[in-house]
Amino acid sequence: MILTSLWANPIAWTLLTLGQILLVTVVLLLTVAFMIYGDRKIFAGVQMRKGPNVVGPFGLLQSFADLGKFLVKELIIPAGADKVVFLLAPLISVTLAIASWAAIPFGPGWVVANINVGVLYLFAVSSMGVYGIIMGGWASNSKYPFLGALRSAAQMVSYEVSIGFVIITVILLSNSMSLPRIVELQAGGFWHWNILGGGGLKNLPLALVMIPMGMIFFISGLAETNRPPFDLPEAESELVAGYAVEYGSTPYLLFYLAEMSNILLMSGLMAVLFLGGWQAPWPTHYLDHLAGTPWSWLASLHGLVMLMLKTMFVLFSNAMVRAVVPRYRYDQLMRLGWKVFLPTSLVAVALVAAWRVFGPVAA
Amino acid sequence: MLLQAIAFYLMAAVTLISAVAVVSSKNPVHSVLFLIAAFFSAAGLFVLLGAEFLAMLLVVVYVGAVAVLFLFVVMMLDVDFAALRQGFARYMPLGGLIAGGLAVEMVMVSTTVATRGAAKLNEIPMARGAGAAPDVTNAEAIGRVLYTNYVYFFQAAGMVLLVAMIGAIVLTLRHKPGVRRQVIMDQVLRTPKTGMRMVSPKPGEGIDA
């Protein structure tokens, strides 16, 4: 094929990769726009309000109106702020948030960077996300943002630990750190998904471990992205808006974008690691006929739709949690992270490792 | 190859410049931020070497955890760096000596690796770049070395870390008497029955507590 020869050429390779990056970024930003709309609609629905319904049909264009509003606002930098760090912080946040998407497999063979340590890459990038918030909070040179930044640093570092252990259980199941490989191994119906132990009915007893792991991942994801009920870094009733108090206009927009894109990422990652990624919940032998024909992209599209449906399901749960659960107290948050999730996930790592070595489908 | 060369010089330059800026910048918080930039671009260099597992670990451990704590402490403490800098001339010879010693060690290690090859020392592929079998990922290669040739050292290192962790906890753990703590169990088990009391006080009378 002409494409494979293009890959060998360094200039064509660069252009193709840039094109892929552009495509993913544009689609991601559009998705985030509608995700914010959906989130607000669900939130409104729970509270028996109508939510955004003025701009465009059913208010669908609300996010774009907000975007325009943010962009034309005046950029105000506080007099005492550290200007460079103040402006760098939202940039770092949004860059990292978008960079994480490079490793997510959207369909069979549809991934920007197929790195064999994809899971670690995502973990590394998301663990750097805390810098945007700390730098923003510190550079504002103001009390509330600083307190918000400190809270968020402690919170995100704490929950990363349990996310790390949960990811290790998935790595143990798949025997690989490559995200496309992890998804491939979950083929053949929902009983092959990692949340039910991965690897079919023989591994079903592991569901007892993996379902709680999935729940821990979901909840830690909420804490990692500063979503309610763990939105203490910006707890508006105590810290006004936390680390973002001094931000307005485009820098604030970038923070918001980064946060929303991270929520989408966590939902997508949940789908990839536990819910089979682009695999359908049923055996998909009918797609095998497409292999080798000009219609093989249909299989990829099929996968993309599956991944989107799963991500939307996780996002919906995410929005419902935000609407229904009251905010945690800070000591409860720390207790949950260190005293509940960390020991549970540690034990789970030991159990899954033991199953892999001594279980019926030993490695 | 061209792309790799560009990436290498870019990241090497960023590493060196940030490393100098760590020492020379006036604001301690800026120093830590430059340190993070140096870690990050060093991780990029690891990726270029084909050691992506080490690169990711460097980012996760140093950038994601250690440097966050650095930043945390430096932001909270009001360190007067002007005062710390006063002894610069006095400590210069000692610092220079240590730096020179380190530089000599680094050159010796890298020349040894360049002439003999890191892989040959262990007979095990460390990185895919070093002519290893392409199907062995470098996470797997490192695992094989760590859990066979160096398993005792590896376990000993783990032990040292464990002892250090316990030591840190012992040093900071204080049981202050008279501190009111949150007992989560009580809070969770609280029901309307235990938390509420219905009374009907007569006018002019209070409720006895």
- Kindly report, residue by residue over B9-53, the tens digit of the pLDDT: 999 999 999 999 988 888 888 888 899 999 999 999 988 888 888
**What distance in Å separates residue B105's CA from the closest CA in chain A?**
30
The CA distance from A3 to A109, in Å, is 14
The pLDDT value given to residue B128: 43
Tell me the CA end-to-end span of chain A in Å, nearest whole number: 37
Q: Rounded to a whole number, what is the distance in Å from the CA of A360 to chain B's nearest CA?
A: 23
Using CB atoms within 10 Å of the CB of residue B149, give its burial: 0 to 12 exposed, 13 to 18 middle, 19+ buried. Answer: middle
Tell if the CB–CB gap between B137 and A117 is shorter than 8 Å: yes
Query: Could you tell me what percent of chain A has a pLDDT over 70?
Result: 95
**CA separation for the pair A111, A23 (Å, rounded):** 12
Query: Contact A33/A25 with Cβ under 8 angstroms?
Result: no
Nearest-angstrom CA–CA distance, A247 and A269: 29
Chain B contact probe: residue of A7, A88, A127, A150 with most B CBs at under 10 A: A127
| Averaged pLDDT, A117-146 | 86
Domains of chain B, residue spans: 1-78+93-128, 134-175
Q: How far apart are CA A198 and CA A191, in angstroms?
A: 7
Measured between beta carbons, the chain B residues lying within 8 angstroms of A150 are 72, 75-76
Tell how far CA A95 is from the center of its chain. 14
- Backbone phi and psi for residue A329, each to the nearest 5 degrees, phi listed first: -85, 155
Please report the pLDDT score of residue A264 as a whole number.
Answer: 92
- Top mean pLDDT of A12-16, A90-94, A173-177, B22-26 is at A90-94
Asked if pLDDT for residue B79 goes beyond 60, the answer is: yes
Phi, psi of A107 (to 5 degrees): -170, 180
A81 by DSSP, 3-state: which?
coil
Tally of CB atoms within 10 A around A322: 18
Q: For residue A9, what is the DSSP state? A: S
- Measured distance CA(A51)–CA(A42) in Å, rounded: 8
Nearest to A10 among B3, B40, B57 (CB): B3
Per cent of chain A over pLDDT 90 is 17
SS3 A110: strand
Encoded tokens for A59:
């208010």
Q: Which two tokens stand for residue A77?
A: 């930098």
Q: For the residues A337-348, what does the mean pLDDT come to?
A: 92
CB contact under 8 A, A331 and B182: yes
> Worst-scoring range by mean pLDDT, A327-341, B155-169, B173-187?
B173-187
Note whether A169 and A345 are within 8 A (CB).
yes
Give the Cα separation of A356 and A361 in Å (integer).
7
Residue B166 vs residue A5, higher pLDDT: B166
Longest dimension (CA), chain A: 66
Q: Does 3.40.50.720 match the CATH number of domain B1-78+93-128?
A: no
Which chain A residue shows the shortest CA-CA distance from B137?
Answer: A116
For chain A, the residues whose C-beta falls within 8 A of a C-beta of chain B are 10, 13-14, 82, 85, 115-117, 120-121, 123-125, 127-128, 130-131, 134-135, 138, 146, 150, 153-154, 157, 160, 164, 177, 331-332, 335
Task: Kindly state the tokens that stand for B105.
Answer: 């060690």
In the structure, what pLDDT confidence band is assigned to residue A270 with cuts at 50, 70 and 90? very high
- Residue pointed to by tokens 């707890």: A235
- From the list A14, A123, A153, the residue facing B3 with the nearest CB is A14
pLDDT of residue A291: 74
B125-174: pLDDT as tens digits: 444 444 445 567 777 888 888 888 889 999 999 999 999 999 999 998 88
State whether B71 and A146 contact (CB < 8 Å).
no
Residues in chain A with CB shorter than 8 Å from the CB of B73 are none
Nearest CA in chain B to A127: B64
pLDDT in tens, B94-131: 888 999 999 999 898 888 877 766 555 555 444 444 44
Indicate yes or no: pTM above 0.90: no
Q: Which of A117, A138, A172 to mutate to test the interface with B (most CBs of B within 10 A)?
A: A117
Distance of CA A282 to the CA centre of its chain: 25
Residues A178, A114 contacting (CB under 8 angstroms): yes
Which chain B residues touch A331 with a CB distance below 8 Å?
Answer: 182
d(CA A222, CA A38): 17
Q: How many CB atoms neighbour CB A248 within 10 A?
A: 15
- CA separation for the pair B93, B96 (Å, rounded): 5
